[in-house]
Structure 1
Amino acid sequence: MASRLRRTLLAALVTASVAVPVSGAARSSAVPAPVPAALAPMRSATPAALAERYAAGREGIRAAERMAAGDGHRWRAATLRAMADPARQFLFFDGRGGGRTAEVFGDLSAAERIAVLVPGSDTNLDKYGLLRGGALRLRQELGDRSAVIAWLGYRTPSLMSLAVLTPGRADEGAPALRAFVRELSAARPAARISLVCHSYGSVVCARAASGLDVADIVLYGSAGVGAGSAAALRTRATVWAGRSAGDWVAGVPHLRLRLPFATVGLGTDPVSPEFGARIFAAGDGGHSDYLRSGSTSLRNIARIVAGQSPAGQDRDA
Structure 2
Amino acid sequence: MGLEERVREERGRAGRRGVHRGRRVRGWRRGLLAAVIVAAVVVPLSAAARPEIPAPAPASLGRVTAATLDETYAANRANAAEASRMADAHGDRERAAADRAMADPARRFLTFDGRGSGRAAEVFGDLAHADRVAVLVPGSDTSLDTYDRFRATAVHLRDELNRQARASGDIDTGSGPRTAVVAWLGYETPGTVSTTVLTPDRAEQAAPHLREFVRQLHALTGGDTRLSLLCHSYGTVVCARAAGDPAVTDLALVGSPGTGADTAAGLHTRARVWAARGSDDWVGEVPHVEADLFGTTVGFGTDPVSPAFGAHVFAAGDGGHSDYFAPGSVSLTNLARIVLGETSEVTRA
CA distance in 2: counterparts of 1:140 and 1:310, whole angstroms: 21
Unpaired runs of at least 5, structure 2: 1-22, 163-170, 172-177
> Structure 1: which amino acid aligns with 2:128?
S
SS at match of 2:35: helix
Q: Partner amino acid for 1:178? A: R
**1:141 aligned partner:** 160
Q: Secondary structure at the match of 2:128?
A: coil
Q: CA deviation at 1:113?
A: 1.1
Residues 290-305 of structure 1 mapped to structure 2, 5 A cutoff: 290-305=324-339
Indicate the structure (1 or 2) with the bigger Cα radius of gyration: 2
Q: What is the aligned counterpart of 1:38 among 56, 60, 68?
A: 60
In structure 2, how many angstroms separate the alpha carbons of the residues matched to 1:259 and 1:20? 16
In the TM superposition, what is the alpha-carbon distance from 1:20 to its structure 2 partner? 6.7
Q: Corresponding residue for 2:287? A: 253
Q: Find the counterpart in structure 1 of residue 20 from structure 2.
A: none
Partner of 1:83: 102
Of 210-219 and 170-179, the range deviating more from structure 2: 210-219
Aligned 8 A contact 1:123 1:156 in 2: yes
TM-score normalised by L of structure 2: 0.84
CA deviation profile, 1:101-124 (whole Å, cap 9, x unmatched)? 100011111222110000000000
Matching residue within 82, 88, 94 for 1:69 = 88
Tell me if 1:121 matches 2:144: no
CA 297–50 in structure 1, closer or farther in 2 if over 3 Å, else same? same
Root-mean-square deviation over aligned CA pairs: 1.9
Tell me, in whole angstroms, the C-alpha distance in 2 between the residues paired with 1:310 and 1:155: 36
Aligned residue type for 1:112: D
Partner in structure 1 of residue 130 of structure 2? 111
Q: Contact 1:182/1:212 (CA < 8 Å) preserved in 2?
A: no
Secondary structure, counterpart of 2:101 in structure 1: helix
State how 1:1-317 maps to structure 2 within 5 Å: 6-16=29-39, 18-19=42-43, 22-23=46-47, 26-27=49-50, 30-42=52-64, 44-46=65-67, 49-143=68-162, 145-189=178-222, 190-309=224-343, 311=345, 313-314=347-348
Amino acid across the alignment from 1:157: P
Percent identity of paired positions between Structure 1 and Structure 2: 57
Which whole-Å deviations, capped at 9, do the CAs of 1:240-290 have from their partners, x for residues lacking one?
000000100000000111112512001100000111100110011110011
Kindly tell me the number of residue pairs found equivalent between the two proteins.
310
1:104–1:149 CA contact under 8 A, matched in 2: yes
- Would you tell me which structure has more helix in proportion to its own residues? 2
Letter in 1 for 2:218: S
Residues of 2 paired with 1:147 and 1:294: CA distance? Answer: 20
Distance 1:6 1:248 in 2: 13
The answer as to whether partners of 2:244 and 2:267 remain within 8 angstroms in 1 is yes
Per-residue deviation, 1:30: 2.5
Shift of 1:174: 0.3
- Aligned residue type for 1:22: S
Equivalent residues of 2:120, 2:186 under 8 A apart: yes
TM-score, length-scaled by structure 1? 0.92
Using the TM superposition, give the Cα deviation of residue 16 of structure 1 relative to its aligned residue in structure 2, in angstroms.
4.4
Q: CA deviation at 1:97?
A: 1.5
